[in-house]
């Protein structure tokens, strides 16, 4: 096969610009480390790449990525004397404080920092694997060489090093005679919690609360605080998947998972992590219990209705829209739903919204904000419906249950 011909600088600039338009990322093109083209989808007072440009340009791989301070990724592709560089891109949204710190590193003035942070937030967020796929596409276009993500992420030398370290440090040793028994006891307790979450057995979890600290968490980190956080994340993952298997909407569970892990990571006190862990366990069981309390084993129709309501909880929900989602006529849906649950669909919707309100009333959100978030026409409408169901106003509920 004939060698793929070198692209002109004009062609490389053209494709780099199209790459930026497609993925919403800044791009630059260097020739022998001198910048010959820059295209930014946002107006930045300074280009953040100047903080790590030299390190990236000195990389010798034909395609790869660079991580800047555990915050951003930069990707690069070489073509003869040229080097294409894209980024910064982050998987996670960065706070305004972090972005302003970045601006300070770029020697921006105090007046420039707010606009710089706002423009940085406009850049596309992207998972590292998605960035690598985009780089693989760029590389194939300009170099005609084929890569897979594993070629870029999996390093054979590092795999061998890990295998050697694990063997040397004897992580899998069973020298402790009591270790097997402790692990089996912990596994049994974990399985008991999983089954109770799947059943929505809140009372059973409360009764067995003394067992939760007895779970042997193994050795998940050399520092105790990091160890407790890692154990929390492991347990959260197990129980959140149990809630999904029990029928709770995956979007709802994954959203809760993000909040719990983020909250755990923000704590620097082990007691707070333990209390958050207990709250998390009961919360997932409570979500399953609420899902099942009106319809037992939860028929497919009721599951579909519940899923629609949870996905549109912040909107005014119309029976006709649910019927269309379930592929039924409006009359057919309401009749079948009443037959299966013994409850009017409109009442079921109201109760689901009020259940969500109960959670929001545990926060410091105002009643007007909660009413808007749940799609009520006004605060007075929200208050009226809440009182009809609970026999007390939202304010009275909040005072009673915050004591």
So what's the pLDDT on residue 402?
59
89: its two tokens: 């891109």
Torsion of the alpha carbons at 252, 253, 254 and 256, rounded to the nearest 10:
90
So what's the pLDDT on residue 285?
82
Q: What is the mean pLDDT of the chain?
A: 82
Burial of 327 (0-12, 13-18, 19+ CB in 10 A): exposed
The pairs formed by 330-338 with CB atoms below 8 angstroms and a separation of 24 or more are 333/301, 333/305, 336/301, 337/301, 337/302, 337/305
188: its two tokens: 């049994």
Tell me the backbone φ, ψ of residue 38, rounded to 5 degrees: -135, 135
Q: Where are the alpha helices (DSSP H) in 1-155?
A: 9-23, 53-57, 96-105, 113-121, 128-143, 149-153
Q: Is the pLDDT of residue 171 over 50?
A: no
The mean pLDDT of 29-58, rounded to a whole number, is 93
Q: How confident is the model at residue 185 (pLDDT cuts 50, 70, 90)?
A: low
User: What span, in angstroms and rounded, lies between the C-alpha atoms of 242 and 55?
Assistant: 45
Q: How confident is the model at residue 314 (pLDDT cuts 50, 70, 90)?
A: confident
User: What span, in angstroms and rounded, lies between the C-alpha atoms of 91 and 300?
Assistant: 35
Rg (CA), the chain: 27
The mean pLDDT of 298-320, rounded to a whole number, is 82
Residue 4 vs residue 156, higher pLDDT = 156
User: What span, in angstroms and rounded, lies between the C-alpha atoms of 357 and 238?
Assistant: 27
Residue 224 vs residue 325, higher pLDDT = 325
User: What span, in angstroms and rounded, lies between the C-alpha atoms of 211 and 215?
Assistant: 7
| DSSP one-letter code for 46 | S
Tens-place pLDDT, residues 130-152: 899 999 999 999 999 999 887 88
The mean pLDDT of 64-72, rounded to a whole number, is 87
Residue 219 vs residue 335, higher pLDDT = 335
So what's the pLDDT on residue 50?
93
The DSSP bridge partners found for residue 28 are 38, 85
Nearest residue to 135 (alpha-carbon basis) of 64, 82, 56? 64
pTM here is: 0.52
- Give the residue carrying structure tokens 């009333």: 361
The mean pLDDT of 236-254, rounded to a whole number, is 83
So what's the pLDDT on residue 4?
59
User: What span, in angstroms and rounded, lies between the C-alpha atoms of 269 and 85?
Assistant: 41
């Amino acid at each position: 096969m004939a060698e793929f011909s070198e692209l002109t600088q004009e062609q490389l600039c053209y494709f780099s610009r199209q790459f930026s338009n497609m993925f919403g990322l800044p791009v630059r093109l260097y020739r022998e480390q001198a910048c010959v083209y820059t295209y930014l989808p946002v107006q930045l007072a300074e280009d953040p790449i100047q903080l790590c440009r030299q390190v990236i340009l000195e990389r010798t791989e034909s395609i790869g990525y660079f991580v800047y301070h555990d915050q951003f990724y930069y990707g690069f592709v070489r073509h003869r004397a040229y080097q294409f560089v894209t980024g910064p891109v982050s998987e996670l949204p960065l706070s305004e404080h972090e972005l302003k710190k970045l601006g300070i590193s770029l020697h921006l003035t105090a007046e420039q920092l707010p606009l710089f942070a706002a423009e940085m937030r406009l850049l596309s967020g992207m998972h590292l694997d998605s960035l690598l796929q985009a780089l693989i596409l760029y590389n194939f276009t300009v170099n005609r060489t084929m890569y897979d993500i594993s070629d870029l992420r999996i390093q054979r030398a590092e795999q061998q090093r890990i295998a050697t370290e694990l063997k040397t440090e004897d992580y899998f040793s069973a020298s402790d005679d009591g270790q097997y028994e402790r692990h089996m006891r912990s596994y049994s307790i974990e399985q008991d919690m999983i089954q109770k979450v799947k059943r929505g057995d809140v009372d059973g979890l409360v009764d067995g609360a003394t067992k939760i600290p007895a779970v042997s968490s193994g050795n998940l980190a050399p520092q105790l605080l990091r160890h407790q956080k890692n154990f929390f994340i492991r347990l959260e993952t197990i129980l959140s998947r149990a809630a999904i298997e029990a029928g709770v909407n995956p979007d709802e569970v994954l959203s809760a998972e993000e909040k719990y892990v983020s909250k755990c990571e923000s704590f620097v006190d082990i007691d707070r992590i333990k209390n958050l862990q207990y709250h998390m366990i009961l919360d997932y069981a409570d979500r399953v219990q609420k899902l099942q309390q009106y319809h037992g084993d939860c028929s497919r129709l009721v599951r579909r209705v519940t899923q629609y309501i949870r996905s549109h909880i912040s909107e005014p929900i119309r029976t006709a829209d649910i019927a269309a989602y379930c592929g039924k006529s409006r009359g057919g849906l309401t009749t079948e739903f009443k037959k299966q649950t013994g409850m009017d669909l409109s009442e079921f919707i109201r109760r689901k919204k009020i259940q969500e309100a109960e959670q929001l009333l545990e926060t410091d959100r105002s009643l007007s904000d909660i009413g808007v978030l749940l799609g009520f026409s006004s605060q007075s409408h929200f208050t009226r419906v809440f009182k009809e169901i609970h026999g007390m106003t939202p304010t009275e509920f909040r005072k009673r249950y915050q004591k």
